Structure 1
Amino acid sequence: MFEKEYDVIVVGGGHAGSEAAAAAANLGCKTLLITMNLQNIAQMSCNPAMGGIAKGQIVREIDALGGYSGIVSDRTAIQFKMLNKSKGPAMWSPRVQSDRMRFAEEWRLLLEQTANLDFYQEMVSGLLIEKNKIAGVRTSLGIEVKSKSVVLTNGTFLNGLIHIGEKQFGGGRAGERAATGITEELIDLGFEAGRMKTGTPPRVDGRSLDFSKMVEQPGDETPDKFSYTNLTQPLGKQRSCHMTYTSPIVHELLREGFDRSPMFNGRIQSIGPRYCPSIEDKINRFADKDRHQIFVEPEGWDTVEYYVNGFSTSLPEDVQFKALRSVAGFENVKFFRPGYAIEYDYFPPTQLAHTLETKIVDGLYFAGQINGTTGYEEAASQGMIAGINAALKVKEKDPFILQRNEAYIGVLIDDLITKGTEEPYRMFTSRAEYRTLLRQDNADFRLTPKSYEIGLASSDRMKRMEEKKSKSDAFYQFFKETSVQPEDINPILEAKNSAPVSQSGKMFKIFARPQISLDDLKEIDQVSDYIDTHALDNEILEQTEIQVKYAGYIEKEKNNADKLNRLEDVKIPKDFDYSKLKSLSFEAKEKMSKIKPATVSQASRISGVSPSDISVLLVYMGR
């Protein structure tokens, strides 16, 4: 039935598993994707959307590395928005509303067209391990499949337990059974495990809603796209979302069910996502607020199913229904299914290396919600890094690790393995100390060369990136070298309430003024002629404008990153004995012995390790 031995086996076909399988196969490894239901590959279990604050940057990074998430998102988008446009470009975040059914279908078709990739539908119930090294997996039918490496991406399925009011039943998500066996086996091997929870709102029939009572939320007038490739196009038409609000009456109706809520009666004791709370949690924590936003999101181009974003709940279904019918526009709502909460096993990610390989079992990798994260984008990026590193290890090549100043993916993984997480981890722009460098517009500049070097990004991707960078750099240099006369620029400056100039000067200094945009400078013949002659598209124009406007900030962040990277070069031996450093604090000894940081820089980011502890470490290592 199977190859004699696979290079990589990926367990789970969600966003993490799909990217892991694609990456490993595209790197030339014989790869097997095993999942409990092949019809649900890359299923959008929660909201039908990709991207958002910081998450959009991650999707762009996955695409720049040669992943599929950006391509699939573009091909199945029904709306595009660039969020945070009123703020600086470091905060701009692309987001698409997706067609849920077509999203999963497109992923399945892309994976089926990927060479070196086999599929099998069954539950993996155990691992084959020989001398602390992975050797394959065992399925629920007792079939053993050999492999040189294994990537676990089990999502919410490990001993998953679904809660709706006082009712509870096993399941990985609505209508699908939980996965059993793996948690217990990993604990026996010495892994530490925990429980987390997440939730989802009701799905409703759009034909029963009155959208005239809601606020329409259209997409951007000129929509962009995620992928840097020419495999996708921006949307020509879009579907609108809508917004409405809860009210004191809705809150009162919800409170009537609190005594039957698994969150409040002790049935659920695990921690849920802080930044995506349930509606009962919101009205309990923010009792002073008399209303909360509800976003009504279509599930696709043609379906009448809608996702009620902001109304995640595990209250009894009769309470959900009664309360939702008191929301403006929902007076006659019909349910497709009620909301629910789900508890599942995860493994604290401090048990992993930066490659996402476990420290206990050689060749075993974890990615996605098994590591305590929440969100499709966070899962997909981990899957990609785990798949890449599993393949590189099999090929006996150096690991692929992204630093904090190189990618949001680097920030995500470093946060997880260095600090750990006791609640579902979600990425935000505020988590990245170098976010001016890690913009959504330059992900291809940052990451495509790295991916091309290991053989993942195609030569076509690399060529497109180099052409774009060459044109952008040349246009940047044009402003540095080209002078403008007062009589040409002063009318523009005066119209923008910017101080006029008395003599000619370089255009770069004028462009750097906050009041002056590239659209303003297009009124000067030299600029418009350059753009036309070199056929510069909007992507290059935007990139150049950001580079000019934020040149000082970008240079400052690069210098700060360079200083930090000097500590990244100071490696710590794997078997280093911290107990022999008597000047280290007890907490530092304990934390570093457990986490085993690979570098002094990573050690400095561990909670409880002080600057004086780092000084002791550096002195001991002769630095």
Structure 2
Amino acid sequence: MFKDTYDVIVVGAGHAGSEAAAAAANMGSSTLLVTMNLQNIAQMSCNPAMGGIAKGQILREIDAIGGYSGIVSDTSAIQFKMLNKSKGPAMWSPRVQSDRMMFSQHWREKLEQTQNLDFYQEMVSGLMVEKHKVVGVRTSLGLEIKAKTVILTNGTFLNGLIHIGNKNFGGGRAGERASTGMTAELIELGFEAGRMKTGTPPRVDGRSLDFSKMEEQPGDENPWKFSYSSETKPLEKQRSCWMTYTSPEVHNILKEGFDRSPMFNGAIQSTGPRYCPSIEDKIHKFADKERHQMFVEPEGWNTIEYYVNGFSTSLPEDIQYKALKLVAGFENVKFFRPGYAIEYDYFPPTQLRHTLETKLVEGLYFAGQINGTTGYEEAASQGLMAGMNAALKVQEKEDFILSRSEAYIGVLIDDLITKGTEEPYRMFTSRAEYRTLLRQDNADFRLTGKSFGVGLASSERMKVMEEKKKKSETFVEFFKNQSVTTDEINPILGSKKSSKVDQQGKLYKILARPNIVMEDMRKLESVKKHIEENNLGNEVLEQVEVQVKYAGYIEKEKLNADKLNRLENVRIPEHFNYNGLKSMSLEAREKLTKIKPRTISQASRVSGVNPSDVSVLLVHMGR
């Protein structure tokens, strides 16, 4: 039924598993994707959307490296928004509302068109391990499939338990059974396991809602897209989302069900996502708030199903229904299904290397929610990195690791394996020290060349990136060298209430002004001519505007990143004996022995390691 031995077996076909399988196969590795239901590849288990604050940056990084998530997000989008546009470019975050069914369908089509990739539908219940090295997987039917590497991307399915009020039942997602057997086997191999919780809101019938009582949330007037490739185009038409609010009356009804809430009656003891709390958690923790926002989001182009964002809950279904009926626009609401909470097993990510390979078992990789993260984008990025590194391991090539100054993906993985997490981890721009460098607009400049070098990003992508980079650099030089007369520029400056100039000067200084934008400069004949002659698109214009306006900040951050990277280059031997450094604190010795950091820089970020401990290490290394 199968190849004698696969290079890579990927277990699970969610966002992490799909990216892992695509990456490994596209890098030439014979790959098998095993999942419990091939009809649900890359299923959007929760909200039908991709991107958002920091997540949008991650998605653009995935696309720049050669993953599929950006392309699929574009081809299945029903609305596009660039969030935080009123702030600096480091905060700009693209987001799409997606057609849920189309998203999954397009992912499957992309995977089926990928060479070197086989599929199999069944539960993987165990691993084949010999001498601390993985050699394959066992299925629930007793089949043994051999592999050189295995990537586990089990999502919320490991011993998944769904809660609705006092009721609970096994499941990895509504309507799908849980995965059993794997956790016990991993614990037997020596892995430490934990338990986490997440939740989802009710889905409702849009025909039963009164949108006239809600605030319309349309997409951007001139929408962009996620993928840097020419394979996708910006949306020509969009669907609106809607916003409404809870009220004190809604809160009172919800409180009636608190005694039957698994969150409050002890049925759920695991930790849920801090930054995506349930509605009962919100009204409990923020009792002073009289109302909370709810975003009413369509599930696709041609469906009447709507997702009630902001109303995640595990309260009894009758309480959910009574409370929602009191929300403006929901007076006659009909449910498709109630909201629920789900508990599942995860494995603290401090047990991993930067490649996402486990420290205990060679050739075994973990990616996605099994590592304690939450969110499609975080999962997809881990899957991409695990797939690439598994392929590189089989090919006996150097690991593909991104640093904190190179990508949000680097920040995410470094945070996980260095600090660990005791609650579902979500990426934010504030987690990145060098977010001015890690903008959504320059992910291709940062990462496409690196990916091309290891065989994932295509030559076509490389060519597109190099052309964009050349055009951007040429246009920046144009601004530095092109002068403008007072007669040409002063009318524009006056219209923007910016101080006029009394002599001819360079365009660069004008564009650097905070209240002058590229659209103003396009009114100048010389600028307009350069744009037309060089066929410059919006991405180049945005890139140049950012580079000119924020040149000082970008340069300062590069210098800071270079300082950090000097410590990144001071490597620590893999089996270094920290207990031999008696002048180091006991806590630091214990933490460093457990984490086994690769470099001095990573060691400095381990919780419990202070600057004096780092100094001891540096002295020992002869620095």
Give the TM-score of the pair, scaled to structure 1.
0.99
1:326 aligns with 2:360: no
C-alpha separation between the residues in 2 aligned to 1:426 and 1:346? 15
The equivalent residue for 1:5 is 5
Question: Aligned residues: percent identity?
Answer: 78
C-alpha separation between the residues in 2 aligned to 1:354 and 1:379? 15
C-alpha separation between the residues in 2 aligned to 1:334 and 1:516? 50
The equivalent residue for 2:21 is 21
Q: How does 1:413-432 map to 2 (within 5 A)?
A: 413-432=413-432
The equivalent residue for 1:97 is 97
Deviation at 1:509, TM superposition (A): 1.3
C-alpha separation between the residues in 1 aligned to 2:101 and 2:465? 32
The equivalent residue for 2:401 is 401
- Give the letter aligned to residue 598 of structure 1: R
C-alpha separation between the residues in 1 aligned to 2:514 and 2:324? 46
CA deviations 1:308-365 (Å, max 9, x no partner) are: 0000000001111111111111111111101000000000000000000000000000
Deviation at 1:605, TM superposition (A): 0.6
What secondary structure does 2:570 align onto? coil
The equivalent residue for 2:152 is 152
The equivalent residue for 2:107 is 107
The equivalent residue for 2:578 is 578
The equivalent residue for 1:208 is 208
1:345 aligns with 2:334: no
The equivalent residue for 1:591 is 591
What secondary structure does 2:175 align onto? coil
CA deviations 1:443-494 (Å, max 9, x no partner) are: 1111100010001000000000000000000000111111222232222222
The equivalent residue for 2:192 is 192
C-alpha separation between the residues in 2 aligned to 1:197 and 1:462? 41
Deviation at 1:526, TM superposition (A): 1.3
What secondary structure does 2:336 align onto? strand
The equivalent residue for 2:280 is 280
What secondary structure does 1:199 align onto? strand
CA deviations 1:276-318 (Å, max 9, x no partner) are: 0000000000000010001000000011010000000000011
What secondary structure does 1:358 align onto? coil
C-alpha separation between the residues in 2 aligned to 1:326 and 1:513? 50
C-alpha separation between the residues in 1 aligned to 2:45 and 2:436? 32
The farther-off stretch of 492-501 and 403-412 is: 492-501
The equivalent residue for 1:62 is 62
The farther-off stretch of 260-269 and 577-586 is: 577-586
The equivalent residue for 1:509 is 509
1:40 aligns with 2:34: no
Q: How does 1:282-301 map to 2 (within 5 A)?
A: 282-301=282-301
The alignment covers a number of residue pairs equal to 623
Q: How does 1:431-580 map to 2 (within 5 A)?
A: 431-580=431-580
The farther-off stretch of 556-565 and 477-486 is: 477-486
C-alpha separation between the residues in 1 aligned to 2:502 and 2:81? 42
C-alpha separation between the residues in 1 aligned to 2:384 and 2:488? 51
The farther-off stretch of 129-138 and 524-533 is: 524-533
C-alpha separation between the residues in 2 aligned to 1:306 and 1:514? 41
What secondary structure does 2:147 align onto? strand
Deviation at 1:582, TM superposition (A): 1.1
The equivalent residue for 1:373 is 373
Q: How does 1:102-181 map to 2 (within 5 A)?
A: 102-181=102-181
C-alpha separation between the residues in 2 aligned to 1:44 and 1:524? 47
Deviation at 1:532, TM superposition (A): 1.2
1:53 aligns with 2:25: no
- Give the letter aligned to residue 299 of structure 1: E
- Give the letter aligned to residue 308 of structure 2: V
CA deviations 1:526-560 (Å, max 9, x no partner) are: 11111111111111111100000000000000000
CA deviations 1:202-223 (Å, max 9, x no partner) are: 0011111111111111101111
Q: Post-superposition, which runs of at least 4 consecutive aligned residues in structure 1 deviate over 3 A?
A: none
CA deviations 1:133-154 (Å, max 9, x no partner) are: 0000000000000000000000
1:611 aligns with 2:611: yes
The equivalent residue for 1:226 is 226
- Give the letter aligned to residue 222 of structure 1: N
How big is the alpha-carbon RMSD for the aligned residues of Structure 1 and Structure 2?
0.7
Deviation at 1:253, TM superposition (A): 0.2
Give the TM-score of the pair, scaled to structure 2.
0.99
- Give the letter aligned to residue 190 of structure 1: G
Task: Extract unaligned runs of 5+ from structure 2.
Answer: none
